[in-house]
């Protein structure tokens, strides 16, 4: 502690205003990640699948998470391996812009996966975080 104790006088109204202004700026810079959904059927054609994959790619590059759902109707539910293959195909198609967050799971008559976007900024942040402790160790020596 300082000797003698130091006290700072300030205008409380100005302080509250600056604090609110800072919070507004922080909120403005945040990106809200939504969970968007693309629905498929087990008997989807190649062209339709490709257009759904393009839609999914656009959503993922926009920063949103993607839920890919296969909807089974009637007797289709007796062949969940067809839906599983379709979900694996979608994950492989979008692997350059996404990472698999949740494996295929069956929920009633629907099977789905969740894909999370992979951004270059996250990779850079991890690299700098990994390098910082090395510099700190060098300074301590």
**What's the pLDDT score for residue 120?**
45
**What's the pLDDT score for residue 19?**
93
**What's the pLDDT score for residue 138?**
52
**What's the pLDDT score for residue 128?**
47
The alpha carbon of 55 is separated from its chain's Cα centroid by a whole number of angstroms, namely 16
**What's the pLDDT score for residue 7?**
82
Whether omega before 13 lies within 30 degrees of 0, making that bond cis, reads: no
The phi, psi pair for 93, rounded to 5°, reads: -65, -35
| Residue given tokens 């300082």 in the structure block | 2
| Whole-Å CA distances, 97 to 39, 74, 83, 101 | 19, 34, 22, 13
**What's the pLDDT score for residue 30?**
72
- CA separation for the pair 25, 87 (Å, rounded): 40
Question: Using an 8 Å Cβ cutoff, are 86 and 40 in contact?
Answer: yes
**What's the pLDDT score for residue 130?**
53
What interhelical angle do 46-61 and 80-93 show, nearest 10? Answer: 50
Q: Which domains does the chain have, with CATH numbers?
A: 35-122 (3.30.110.10)
- CA separation for the pair 90, 37 (Å, rounded): 13
**What's the pLDDT score for residue 4?**
81
**What's the pLDDT score for residue 8?**
80
- CA separation for the pair 45, 49 (Å, rounded): 6
Residues 28-62 have pLDDT tens digits of 777 777 889 999 999 999 999 999 999 999 999 98
Series of mean pLDDT values for 10-residue runs along the chain (141 residues):
79 92 83 86 94 93 91 92 92 91 90 85 50 51 46
Q: What is the pTM of this model?
A: 0.63
Residues 6+ apart with CB under 8 A from 67: 35, 36, 37, 38, 112, 113, 114, 115
């Amino acid at each position: 502690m300082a000797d003698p104790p130091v006290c700072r006088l300030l205008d409380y109204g100005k302080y509250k205003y600056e604090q609110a202004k800072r919070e507004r700026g922080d909120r403005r810079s945040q990106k809200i990640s939504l969970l968007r959904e693309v629905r498929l059927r087990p008997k989807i054609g190649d062209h339709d699948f490709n257009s759904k994959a393009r839609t999914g790619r656009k959503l993922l590059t926009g920063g949103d998470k993607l839920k890919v759902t296969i909807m089974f109707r009637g007797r289709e539910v007796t062949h969940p391996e067809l839906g599983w293959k379709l979900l694996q195909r979608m994950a492989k198609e979008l692997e350059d812009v996404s990472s698999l967050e949740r494996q295929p799971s069956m929920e009633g008559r629907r099977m789905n996966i969740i894909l999370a976007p992979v951004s270059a900024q996250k990779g850079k942040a991890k690299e700098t975080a990994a390098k910082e402790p090395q510099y700190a160790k060098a300074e301590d020596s």
